[in-house]
Amino acid sequence: FWLKQALGQCQISPLLALAMILSTSKNTLGRNASATLAFHAYRKTHDGEEDGGDQPPVVQLMVENVDIAFRAKLHVEVVHNLSVTGPRRHIRSEAICDAMELGRAYLAGSTEQVRKVARRLDVTRWSPQDLAKADEQALEKLCRTKPQNTAVTQKLIPPGEGWTRHDDEKLIEQRSEVYFSQIGSNAGKYFKWNAGKKKYEEVGAPHTSVESPVTLSSGSACTVRRGTKLDRAVTLNDIAKIARLALKFPLSFVDTPACAYAVFQGLRSAESAQWCAENFHKKLLPIIAEKIHSYEDDELEKVLVRTLETLDGELLLSAHAFSGCTAMIALVLGRRLVVAGIGSVRAVLLPEKGKAKPLLELGAGSLECPEELARLRNMSGAVLQNGLLHFSSCAPPPVAPAAAAAAAAA
């Protein structure tokens, strides 16, 4: 429809119209909005060259006959048309008063204000004095009150993706519930709705994604225990891409590299570990998307804790609850690494140079403890390389988790 209108009004070739759409298809508001903005820019440039300036809007105020009743109508022709009607009236003078109110609202406010006035007119009852002053000829004078050099207000576009239309003035990022004002006195500002105070409160601009010079390598391995593999490892090398393709929403405000890892060790069987591995990204990524501003370190820790709590709560309600599993998850955003776990797990950071650094140890004996070292030696094990545990080929299966995922940061 838009392409048909563009060809009919501007006499441009289909190839040029297609090029205009493709050149703006990466705009944050989607292809339709991008094409419309391109069309507006084209009209503004070429109409100015041919006609010597922007064309003023055409404003019409009228009273329509609807069956045996009357109805006020405001019609504005600009780049896109605006048409708002009032309620049906049995007396023509009442519809004239309605039309005057719609006209004044259009001159004083925005399109949304005109619609609010139209809704208010549904319950408005005009007094005899108001009806006596009704003058249909005044409608034409009111139309000419609009300045002839009025130009279409250019709406601001916020950075990032995921913005959708909330009303004529604001956009909203649905998952974070952040609003962006495009026009008016608050143009360019961001807001959040405070339900307790029942008002909008201004917030800062969204976080701008920063790409850090960090190289990550990851891998996983597991051993056969009780005749089967009870462990599951998950590697999400690009959570922004996975969110877009698998969950159909963008993550354009996170620092890069943006990765996530998980290891789930089944206890009685692999069913719980399998379920957690399949649902890990479905729980983690929506929680990350709830905030488009910069994350503090403690907030990232809470993100992982919420992810584990959500997995645990839903697992207990599933058919795999009695299988049981331990879990270790890690999140990398830019230069920050956060880990969390539940059960008997241990996380160790392996830098490219220097000594290994333990990050998290839950439910497992410390390698610094003499009793723990004695227990390992009795199992024909050995402790080598800065405290990292290596079992000999004759050692029995260890009690600690058999699967591990390591991330090396350079």
Q: What is the pTM of this model?
A: 0.56
Question: What is the 3 state secondary structure string of 255-303?
Answer: CECEEEEEEEEECCCCHHHHHHHHHHHHHHHHHHCCCCCCCCHHHHHHH
Pull the structure tokens for residue 140. 């034409």
Give residue 117's pLDDT.
86
pLDDT at 13 over 60: no
Contact status, residue 292 vs residue 176, Cβ threshold 8 Å: yes
Whole-angstrom distance, CA of residue 137 vs CA of residue 99: 11
- Confidence at residue 153, expressed as pLDDT on a 0 to 100 scale: 64
Q: In angstroms, rounded to a whole number, what is the distance separating the alpha carbons of residues 342 and 358?
A: 16
**103-120 mean pLDDT:** 80
Question: Is the pLDDT confidence value at 223 over 50?
Answer: yes
Model confidence over 127-138: pLDDT tens digits?
A: 888 888 888 888
Structure token pair of residue 355: 């000594």
- What percentage of residues in the chain have a pLDDT greater than 90? 28
DSSP assignment letter at 207: P
| Cα-based distances in Å from 168 to 97, 115, 174, 232 | 26, 11, 16, 49
In 99-195 the beta strands, taken as DSSP E runs, fall at: 163-165, 170-173, 178-181, 190-194
Per the model's pLDDT, the better-predicted residue between 177 and 351 turns out to be: 177
Cα–Cα distance, 151 to 58 (Å, whole number): 12
Confidence (pLDDT) at 333: 93
- Mean of the per-residue pLDDT values of the chain: 76
What's residue 261's pLDDT? 95
Residue type at position 120:
R
